[in-house]
Amino acid sequence: MKKFILCGKINNPGTYNIDENRSLIDIFTKLAGGLWNNGRLSMVQIGGPFGEIVLLKDIENPLSDYTKNIDTDTILFLNDLTCPVDYARFCVRYLIKELRTTNETIEEIEEIIEKISNGTSKRILELDILKELLEEKTVIPAERKMKKTVLFLLNNFREIFEEHITEKKCHPGVCHRLASAQCVNACPAEVNIPGYVAYMAEDDMDTAYSVMRQANPLSYVCGMICARPCEERCRRGELEQSVGVRALKYFASTMALEDNKIKEDKLESNGKKIAIIGSGPAGLSASYFLGRSGYNVTIYEAEKTAGGVPAIMIPEYRINNEAINREIKLIENLGVKIKTGVKVGEDIKLGEIRKANDATILATGLMTGVKVGPDKEYIVSAVDILKEIKLQGKRNFSKKVTVIGGGDVAMDAARSIMRCGSDVTVVSLEEYDGMPASHEEKHGAAEERINFLNGYTINKYLEEKDSLKKIELKKCISTMDSQYRFSPKFDEEKTIKIDSELVVMAIGQRADYSYLDCDIEIGSDRWISFDKNTYKTTAEDVYVAGDMGGYSKIAISAIAEAKKVAISIDKALGGQGIYVGDEIEIPEKQLDLTTWNIPKQEEKETESTYRCKNFENIKVVYTREEALREATRCMRCDRNSKQ
């Protein structure tokens, strides 16, 4: 047994007597108590700044593997907001500033890492130069340890170092010269949040909406359904409650669209034609950016209603099609043509579309629900149920319904079926706090008296005369391995039975590839193969956007990808860059310190006892007074970030 200090953003920091044969994952979970707010571990540092770094793939190893040559008895647990570039920068500066050790090589290493972290490095080649410098032998022990640590970071996180150079992006937002504000950095589409909030504080909702649309043409839609990653990283939220970014977006979009004054210019037609398959957030957004930039865009949509998942799956109580159609109309005003009710592969072949266009974007999303179990009528997919309810309205279900899954789709299905008069139980592998569904969706379902059975999964279907009467569930012990890979483990002996007449599967979705041409390859991971930088598939003229690429899990991510695809196509076709309108100057009003006294204006929803009986919109928009108050709570940290 030996004393070690456990530190980092962990729940139980302190000094512990630890058996060095104990695994790091055991120390992390049982002694450290995990990270704050169920955060994700990214690596472990043992023995001080130049100690050993342990990656997730090695976290099941015993502590003794890493304690032979350490300087201090500390174990630092680092979360996924740790930037390897900033870590490397810290190591070099620690050597120079604290250990008073420097020479020409160390100074050259520091210069390269500083350039990478502040966005002035322009060549990937500099990483090769950095690697050569780090591999040079030295007789100075402290320098040797620094080089070993930084080289480890470079070798294991090279993609992140490259991203700092090529995209000028630091996802954790730690390299402050690469992040204008934490909220903007956290937003996949990099919407200028402080900018539009500043206009809202001046009661100029039309301009605020225009600022949003330069990065997100579906701002009204996102004001209703966005997962709001920006609010999780709001700097004010580190001190008290974050700014209500989504609620502000909803208010400004509502006001601007009601005024009906939004008119957007576009470049003259360049004669180039683009086809987009699918009219969801990715397809619509790509059409907006390309349409404004002078391209002639046609969207092909299999459904009779444009809008993708928000229009045909997300329940009416969360977003109605009238809201979606307002922003679709603005896109059509740019000359974009949307052909609904046209199923590519049946009504028209993809090859025919490709021949008539200069580029084609595949953006048909993941519209097929995954089902497991016997082929029985009492097992249905949540995707099919949600589409049926959204497009056809209420219907009668069995009295006892079980929804399998723990994500937002499961919550949507459960809450929709409950509104149709059924008694609904949600069964998820995860415990309540670990369910992937957003907090507000879980909380909303609980308020509406949806039953939860957490930590279980289907084991058997128990029939009587070919009809389902009960299901047997078995206990799930854990869902993830030490590297956060899905790897559920079960206690086969611990089972329970519940009444159920219908089982709704909300355990995942997959893409429909049936309409693709043979030169568009599907990888071994069952996703379309494409270049991660250009989004180009194995077919020369075909690109992929949104869920089909396997990376977009929320609407704002699909919108962000759509812009990147538009930029890639424009570059490939010799364009001059994507046009989103003239730059809008952001007000630089002096910050009023009394803003600290303004409490958060909470997002409101209709009373649960009322809303659970119908599909009316549950969101209550801010009053103008509430919106102005909330907008003034923004601290405008963007004005200091890059200075």
Does the domain made of 182-263+591-641 have the CATH classification 1.10.10?
Answer: no
pLDDT for 310: 96
For residue 598, pLDDT over 70 is answered with: yes
pLDDT for 592: 80
What is the rounded average pLDDT of the residues 612-629? 94
pLDDT, tens digit, 9 for 90 and up, residues 368-423: 999 999 999 999 999 999 999 999 988 889 999 999 999 999 999 999 999 999 99
pLDDT for 641: 54
Q: Which residue has the higher pLDDT, 177 or 315?
A: 315
| CATH fold match for the domains 182-263+591-641 and 373-509 | no
pLDDT, tens digit, 9 for 90 and up, residues 437-451: 999 999 999 999 999
Asked whether the beta carbons of 221 and 330 are under 8 A apart, the reply is no
CATH of the domain spanning 373-509: 3.50.50.60
Nearest to 506 by CA among 370, 308, 378: 370
For residue 552, pLDDT over 70 is answered with: no
Residue with token string 């976290």? 59
What is the rounded average pLDDT of the residues 561-565? 97
Asked whether the beta carbons of 449 and 458 are under 8 A apart, the reply is no
Asked whether the beta carbons of 190 and 184 are under 8 A apart, the reply is yes
What is the rounded average pLDDT of the residues 262-273? 96
Q: Among 3.40.190.10, 3.30.1130.10, 3.10.20.600, 3.40.50.300, name the CATH number for the domain at 2-164.
A: 3.10.20.600
Task: State the average pLDDT for the chain.
Answer: 94
Task: Please enumerate in sequence order all residues whose Cβ is within 8 A of that of 198, keeping only pairs 6 or more positions apart, or say none.
Answer: 586, 587, 589, 631, 634, 636
Question: For the chain, which residues make up each domain, given as ranges?
Answer: 2-164, 182-263+591-641, 273-367+511-572, 373-509
For residue 355, pLDDT over 70 is answered with: yes
For residue 642, pLDDT over 60 is answered with: no
273-367+511-572: CATH topology is FAD/NAD(P)-binding domain (3.50.50)
Q: Which residue has the higher pLDDT, 602 or 456?
A: 456
Compute the distance between CA of residue 418 and CA of residue 21 in angstroms, rounded to an integer.
51
pLDDT, tens digit, 9 for 90 and up, residues 409-435: 999 999 999 999 999 999 999 999 899
Compute the distance between CA of residue 2 and CA of residue 48 in angstroms, rounded to an integer.
16
CB-CB neighbours of 168 under 10 Å: 16
Asked whether the beta carbons of 497 and 473 are under 8 A apart, the reply is yes
pLDDT for 640: 65
pLDDT for 376: 94
For residue 218, pLDDT over 60 is answered with: yes
pLDDT for 261: 83
pLDDT for 288: 99
CA distances to 8, 43, 202, 224, 590 from 198, rounded to whole Å, are 35, 38, 7, 21, 11
CA distances to 111, 385, 428, 437, 456 from 448, rounded to whole Å, are 58, 19, 18, 16, 21
pLDDT for 616: 94
pTM of the model: 0.92
pLDDT, tens digit, 9 for 90 and up, residues 500-541: 999 999 999 999 999 999 999 999 888 999 999 999 999 989
Compute the distance between CA of residue 133 and CA of residue 147 in angstroms, rounded to an integer.
8
